[in-house]
């Protein structure tokens, strides 16, 4: 298994798309700095201003960028035919797929947490004590949200891997990820109450604040989930899609 993990790591870091997707995710830091400067200037002008923190407002950028990485990890091999070589080298498809999932999880979690923490620290240092501020107490309070955000990025990357394995199409898998992250939440809002809030509580974009113990009362009302339940739902997304992807990889010819 160690040799398979090493092989998958070499594959991941030897393709340009990996660095492109990580670079797109890292753009959150630059956007966070620009947003902090802009909001700070408006706050100085108007006296007081409430705005979303950059690590929250730009989270979808990191989620989508690394979801693309998860999709390409498997679909690029199908597109080039390299999946046949991989299966000849590692005949056990379960071992191969598990190694891919492990490498994607480690790479995306490390990248996401690095980007989120760097965005958080730089934005607070730039804002200073006048607005957001940066101190140990504030960081301790915000840490659950940062950890939940990092887990959501990793979960979505694994969802992309599972969908890519199931569909064998980069475009199809990406459209599905975009639908989960952006389209479905909008559609659910049109359902009659209380089903709109109950289903909305299970959707990917709404899980992070629930895991971090924020009730989202303005959006979900009494339909929110306790943190442990929201975390379980978050883990269920990659578990289900990876199971479907593995079944497709096992049943279909490469």
pLDDT (average), residues 88-114:
93
Note if the pTM is more than 0.85: yes
Residue of 162, 178, 172 lying closest to 238 (CA atoms): 162
Task: Check residue 15 and report its DSSP letter.
Answer: S
Please give the pLDDT value at position 244.
Answer: 96
Select the more confidently predicted residue: 180 or 252: 180
**Could you tell me the pLDDT band of residue 254, with boundaries at 50, 70 and 90?**
low
**Could you tell me the pLDDT band of residue 134, with boundaries at 50, 70 and 90?**
low
Q: 51 vs 148, 206, 212, CA distance in Å?
A: 20, 18, 19
CB 5 within 8 Å of CB 95: no
C-alpha to C-alpha distance for 156 and 171, rounded to whole angstroms:
16
- Encode pLDDT of 140-153 as tens digits: 888 999 999 999 99
CB 240 within 8 Å of CB 165: no
- Per-residue burial over 65-81, b = 16 or more CB atoms within 10 Å of its CB, e = otherwise: bbbbbbbbbbbbbbeee
pLDDT (average), residues 71-82:
91
CB 215 within 8 Å of CB 224: yes
Please give the pLDDT value at position 217.
Answer: 41
């Amino acid at each position: 298994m160690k040799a398979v993990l090493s092989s998958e790591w070499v594959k991941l870091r030897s393709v340009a798309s990996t660095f492109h997707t990580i670079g797109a995710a890292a753009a959150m830091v630059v956007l966070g700095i620009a947003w902090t400067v802009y909001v700070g200037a408006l706050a100085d002008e108007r006296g007081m201003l409430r705005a979303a923190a950059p690590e929250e407002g730009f989270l979808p950028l990191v989620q989508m960028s690394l979801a693309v990485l998860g999709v390409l990890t498997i679909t690029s091999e199908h597109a080039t035919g390299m999946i046949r070589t991989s299966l000849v080298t590692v005949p056990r498809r379960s071992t191969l797929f598990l190694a891919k999932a492990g490498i994607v999880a480690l790479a995306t979690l490390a990248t996401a947490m690095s980007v989120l923490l760097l965005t958080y620290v730089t934005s607070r240092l730039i804002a200073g004590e006048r607005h957001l501020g940066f101190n140990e107490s504030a960081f301790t309070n915000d840490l659950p949200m940062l950890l939940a955000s990092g887990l959501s990025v990793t979960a979505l990357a694994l969802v992309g891997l599972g969908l890519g394995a199931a569909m064998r199409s980069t475009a199809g898998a990406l459209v599905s990820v975009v639908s989960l992250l952006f389209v479905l939440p909008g559609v659910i809002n049109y359902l009659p109450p209380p089903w709109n809030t109950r289903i909305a509580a299970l959707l990917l974009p709404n899980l992070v604040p629930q895991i971090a113990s924020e009730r989202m009362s303005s959006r979900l009302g009494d339909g929110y989930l306790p943190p442990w339940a929201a975390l379980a739902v978050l883990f269920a997304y990659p578990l289900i899609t990876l199971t479907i992807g593995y079944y497709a990889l096992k049943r279909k010819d490469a």
